[in-house]
Amino acid sequence: MSRVMIVDDEKDVVYLIKVLMERERLEVMEAYNGLEAYTRLTAPADDKILPDAIILDIMMPEMDGYTFQSKLQEIDGLNSIPIIILTAKGQMKDLFELSSNIFAFVEKPFEPKNLVKIVKDALASKK
């Protein structure tokens, strides 16, 4: 079963995406800011469960999506996880131009069927 990590500070958004992903028989990991997600992904090996894709919001407290994504790029094993950027700000794309692990950008509000298709495409790209 493929795993998707949702990183967003809006609990309603996390819940909606979780329902969409579970409907597709995907296992969901949740984090409510970049620091929480980073801590979970860099935990000691016996505690660590890696996602097959990450849906990432940009504007969050503690650690924003850009910082989180930049830190992941520096770590072998985490830098190849495809990331789907979920943002209300279209102009943020410029920040990620040189990032090899960005799979797609999805602007809020998003079309649920479109997000599901993009996540499936991201998961397929890893196989």
109-123 pLDDT tens trace? 899 999 999 999 999
CATH number of 51's domain: 3.40.50.2300
The arithmetic mean of pLDDT across residues 57-78, rounded, is: 91
Mean pLDDT value of segment 100-117: 90
User: Residue written as tokens 């649920």?
Assistant: 112
Instruction: Give the residue numbers spanning the domain of 113.
Output: 3-126
Instruction: Domain count for the chain, please give it.
Output: 1
From the list 1, 2, 90, 81, the residue with the least C-alpha distance to 38 is 81
Of residues 47 and 77, more confidence is placed in 77
Separation CA 99–CA 96 (nearest Å)? 5
**pLDDT (average), residues 52-66:** 93
Give this prediction's pTM. Answer: 0.91
Q: Using one digit for the tens of pLDDT, what is the confidence trace for 21-34? A: 999 999 999 999 99
